[in-house]
Amino acid sequence: MPVPTRAEVVVVGAGLAGLSAAIRLRAAGCDVQMLESGGHAGGRLATDRIDGFVVDRGFQVLNAGYPRAADLDLPALELGWFLRGAVLRVDGRVHRVVDPRSRLAAAPGTIAAPLGSLREKAALLAFSLRAGYSPVRRSLRRPDRPAEQALRDAGIGEQALERFLRPFLAGVLLERELVTSGHYVDLLWRSFVRGRIGLPAGGMQAIGAQLAARVGADRVHLDTPVRSVAPGAVTTDEGVLRSDAVVVATDPGTAARLLPRIEASAPRQVTTHLHVLPASPWHEPLIVLGQPGGRLVNSVVLTDAQPRYSPDGRALVASSTLCPTSEAEVRAEVAAAHGVGSSDLEHLTTVTVTGAQPAALPPLALRRPVDLGDGIYVCGDHRDTPSIQGAMASGARTARAVLRALRPSAVPRGA
Ligand SMILES: Cc1cc2nc3c(=O)[nH]c(=O)nc-3n(C[C@H](O)[C@H](O)[C@H](O)COP(=O)(O)OP(=O)(O)OC[C@H]3O[C@@H](n4cnc5c(N)ncnc54)[C@H](O)[C@@H]3O)c2cc1C
């Protein structure tokens, strides 16, 4: 489908933020065209097929507890779920820390897990309850501190921090030092307490594909990089596309290049090694946490949660490190995490994502400006939080800003 020369709104970038904006603009009757440099819709949610296995570009999950998950048709994604919790190994012994709401039978093991004194365990529970159920506004009213300090101030002890929270959060925040905003960790933990995490049957890219279908295939122009943006015009290799509004919904680095007033925060990176095992060594879908001092932040049998990631019942394992590693450097650690022999692991592929997420340092700037003036708007996870939720929320917010300018009657009062 050729790119037209005129549209009411041009959205640059078809990641979750751009798609979320475009869906709302289309619903309000706007003529929207999306220009996407890559070969698929969904941006950082990308999935390949390798030897019949469904391989996401980096281990990531959809948290159904995200408020914006309500925008998705979750049943159509055919999600396979992880249990809420994790496996940790201490002195070679396996311990499961599982939310009893997920599996009541796991409660005695969770209470007995080596995570410090009863008082420290109670502090972990109190932190979870506060993050999960106290009003967000109240959490955000406290001064924002680096996550490690916030957790220690909440009474979290050394063992719970080093054996459980640090490796768990490092796998999500993509940094081990826990310098990320404590406010953001509160929001994140809230969604873990409230929702389950899962993988779509077709891989994470299916989420973007679902949203793109709502925009309309004829309006999402793939393999069309935008070279520059100006008020009322974007330039591609094919020419100039004129519009009343331009929404830049790219990754933060590209947004900073296209829009001089935008700053890109330090991107986090992750390397994920994919291995195949003849069968899963586990009985339940749980993330195995990396050991203190080890290279891995986590290792996960993806097919325990989503069997459709495998073509033939063999188990697919994803193991992530925060600095680039070779497969040979992590093989023994992956085997030890799952209690299998190194020779049982068949290496499928290794993926490094350099711009996986922008950093969210304190003080957390939630809801950064999206209306830059002159009909230019910006959205993406760097405007809200570095997550699927943040990307989708920023897209929704940007659509409201565009509509306030172009179709004020389409914006509910107070929105
Ligand atoms: C390995 C990994 C693990 C993650 N784990 C999780 C997780 O478990 N949970 C979670 O909530 N989040 C996770 N995230 C973060 C989440 O994926 C992102 O925050 C979110 O997808 C960002 O969406 P976005 O629309 O803001 O940006 P993007 O997805 O980056 O979309 C921007 C789009 O713009 C396009 N583009 C760039 N330049 C141009 C140009 N010049 N012209 C046209 N198009 C352009 C890009 O190709 C891309 O499609 C993870 C990310 C990665 C990479």
What's the gap in Å between 132 CA and the centre of ligand 1? Answer: 26
Q: Does ligand 1 have an atom closer than 6 angstroms to the CB of 58?
A: yes
Instruction: Tell me what percent of the residues of the chain surpass a pLDDT of 90.
Output: 89
Q: Choose the final residue of a domain: 322, 337, 358.
A: 358
399 domain residue, yes or no: yes
- Does residue 415 have a pLDDT over 80? no
Mean pLDDT of the chain: 95
What's the gap in Å between 375 CA and the centre of ligand 1? Answer: 24
What's the gap in Å between 44 CA and the centre of ligand 1? Answer: 3
Q: What is the mean pLDDT of residues 264-291?
A: 95
What's the gap in Å between 357 CA and the centre of ligand 1? Answer: 8
Residues 389 and 257 reside in one and the same domain = yes
182 domain residue, yes or no: yes
Residues 341 and 296 reside in one and the same domain = yes
pLDDT tens digits along 188-242: 999 999 999 999 999 999 999 999 999 999 999 999 999 999 999 999 999 999 9
pLDDT tens digits along 221-236: 999 999 999 999 999 9
156 domain residue, yes or no: yes
- Positive or negative, the Cα torsion across 249, 250, 253, 256? negative
Residues 143 and 158 reside in one and the same domain = yes
Q: Choose the final residue of a domain: 195, 220, 244.
A: 195
Which CATH number goes with the domain that contains 311? Answer: 3.90.660.20
Output the pLDDT for position 236: 97
Query: How many C-beta atoms lie closer than 10 Å to residue 3's C-beta?
Result: 17
Residues 256 and 315 reside in one and the same domain = no
pLDDT tens digits along 247-263: 999 999 999 999 988 98
Residues 260 and 373 reside in one and the same domain = yes
67 domain residue, yes or no: yes
Q: Does ligand 1 have an atom closer than 6 angstroms to the CB of 45?
A: yes
Q: Does ligand 1 have an atom closer than 6 angstroms to the CB of 236?
A: no
Containing domain of residue 24, as a range? Answer: 6-45+204-265+365-410
Output the pLDDT for position 414: 66
Q: What is the mean pLDDT of residues 63-84?
A: 96
Output the pLDDT for position 409: 85
Residues 343 and 370 reside in one and the same domain = no
91 domain residue, yes or no: no
- Amino acid identity at 257: R
Q: Does ligand 1 have an atom closer than 6 angstroms to the CB of 171?
A: no
How many domains does the structure of the chain reveal? 3
Placement of tokens 């490796």 in the chain:
167
- 186 in Cβ contact with 131 (< 8 Å): yes
Exposure b/e, 150-161, CB count within 10 A at least 16 = b:
bbbeeebbebbb
Output the pLDDT for position 383: 96
- Does residue 364 have a pLDDT over 70? yes
Output the pLDDT for position 237: 96
Q: How far is CA 352 from the centre of its chain?
A: 15
Q: Does ligand 1 have an atom closer than 6 angstroms to the CB of 12?
A: yes
Q: How far is CA 152 from the centre of its chain?
A: 25
- Report which of 139, 138, 140, 158 is spatially closest to residue 148, judged by C-alpha positions: 158
Output the pLDDT for position 362: 95
* pLDDT level of residue 1 (50, 70, 90 thresholds): confident
- Residue to mutate, 12, 57, 60, ligand 1, most ligand atoms under 8 Å from C-beta: 60
Output the pLDDT for position 286: 97
Residues 190 and 226 reside in one and the same domain = no
Output the pLDDT for position 265: 78
The maximal CA–CA distance of the chain, rounded, in angstroms, is 66
Structure tokens at 201: 């049957």
Residues 247 and 277 reside in one and the same domain = no
What's the gap in Å between 46 CA and the centre of ligand 1? Answer: 9
Q: Choose the final residue of a domain: 358, 375, 402.
A: 358
Cβ contacts of residue 92 below 8 Å, gap of 6+? none
